[in-house]
Each structure stands twice: as structure tokens, then as C-alpha cells.
Amino acid sequence: MAAVANSIFTPATAARFDKLATIYPLKRSALVPMLLYSQDEIGYVSDEVVAELAVRLDLLELDVRNVLSYYSMLRTVPAGKYNVQVCTNISCMLRGGFELLDHCKHKLGIGHKGVTADGLFSLEEVECIGACCWAPAVQVNYDFHENLTPAKMDAVLADYAAGKGKNEPPSPSIGPAGTEAK
């Protein structure tokens, strides 16, 4: 039986959340992954997401918001279909991370946390993403793009705009039924 009637999520995600709430020694442990997977599906963490996760995990909405506000990858407003995250931390900075960010700003015509008018791209300057040896690096949604130059960046953006980006499925199902994305 579904844990929540009239879930705002797709049946697959709702079933996945039913299961997630049972695998941990403590139900609440599922909160951070659930917030992330909700965002993957809805595009951001909406009031409705907060309300449903609170019900699912027997928490107050306040508890959910308290956690939500802590993590930098979680957002409460929609981003573009492709969220371009440019790292400018030290290793990337030394190899042109700021130039790359500046290039993206001009190319997309938006600033940090901006969204293009057609909703296709959003831009974010992010802290270290763990790709220091392949700097400068950018993440578009969850996909890594490494050893970039402004010209390579243009090609990456053009691919996404043409629907040919990497754009791996954001997440597999939980547990033994997991599928590999690559």
C-alpha cells in the first residue's frame, strides 16, 4: 500500500520513496536523498514537496525546511532545464575557471543564479566539485565536463541546446534493481 495517498510524485518515485523510508534504522535518514530526488523530478523543492516529505517521514514541515535550507544543491525556485555549474575554486581558478564563468555569463546572457528567458539554461558559480585534476570543470545538472576552454564550453552548451547533451538519467532506482547510467 502506498504510504501517501494522492502523492505529487510519479508512481515510480512514490514507490521508491515508500521503500526509502523503510531501509534506514531511522526513517528520517531518508530526508536528504528524498529532497534531492524530489528536486530531480519536480525541478525544485516546492511547498508541496516539503508538505509531502513531512508526512512521509513523520516530521514537521519546519524540520524539512530546516534541512532544506542547509544544503547548497537544493533550491526552492526552478532552475533552467540544464543547470550549468561552473567551478571557480582554487584548482579551477588557476586553470581559467573565472574566465569560463565569465564566458558563460556572456554566452547565455545571464548572471550567477540566472535563468535564460526560454528556461533552457541556468548558470551558477559553484564551489569545488571534486574534479580538480581535470580543471577547469563544469557540471551540467549531474554531468561532469572537464578540461574545458571557452571554445569547448560553447560546444558543450550547443549540444545541450540541440538535445544532444550527456544528460544522463539523474538517478537509478534504489537497491538491487539499480541500473548503471554509463
Partner 1 sequence: MPTLVSHPDEVKVISRRFGMGAKEIDRYIELDGYKAVQQGIEQGPEWIVNTMKASGLRGRGGAGFPTGMKWSFVPKVSEKPKYVLVNGDESEPGTCKDHVIFLEDPHAVIEGTMIAGLAIGAKMGFIYLRGEYRYLLNIVEKAVADAYAKGYLGKNIFGKEGVDFDIITQTGAGAYEVGEESALMESLEGKRGIPRIKPPFPAVVGLYGGPTVINNAETIANAPHILLMGGEAYAKLGTERNGGTRLFGISGHVNKPGVYELPMGYSLRDAIYKVAGGIPGGKALKAVVPGGASCPVLKADEIDVGLDFDQMAKAGTMLGSGGIVVLDETVSIVEFALRTIRFYQHESCGWCIPCREGTDWLKKTLTRFHAGGGNKKDIDNIQYLAENMMGRTFCPLGDAAAMPTLGFIKKFRSEFEEYLAGARVEHPLIQITPVGEPELAAH
List contacts with partner 1 (CB under 8 A): 23-26, 28-33, 35-36, 57, 66-67, 70-74, 88-91, 93-95, 98-99, 101-102, 111-113, 125-135, 139, 142-144, 146-147, 168, 170-172, 174-182
Q: How far apart are CA 136 and CA 141, in angstroms?
A: 16
Contact 39, 74 (CB under 8 A): yes
Min dist CB 29 to partner 1, Å, is 5
The grid coordinates listed for 160 are 545541450
Query: Before 11, cis peptide (omega within 30)?
Result: no
CB of 117 to partner 1, least distance (A): 17
Residue 91 or 149 with smaller CB distance to partner 1: 91
Burial (Cβ within 10 Å: 0-12, 13-18, ≥19) of residue 106:
exposed
Residue number with CB closer to partner 1 (29 or 149)? 29
Residue 1 or 67 having the CB closest to partner 1: 67
- Closest approach of Cβ 177 to partner 1, in Å? 7
Report, in Å, the least distance between residue 124 CB and partner 1: 8
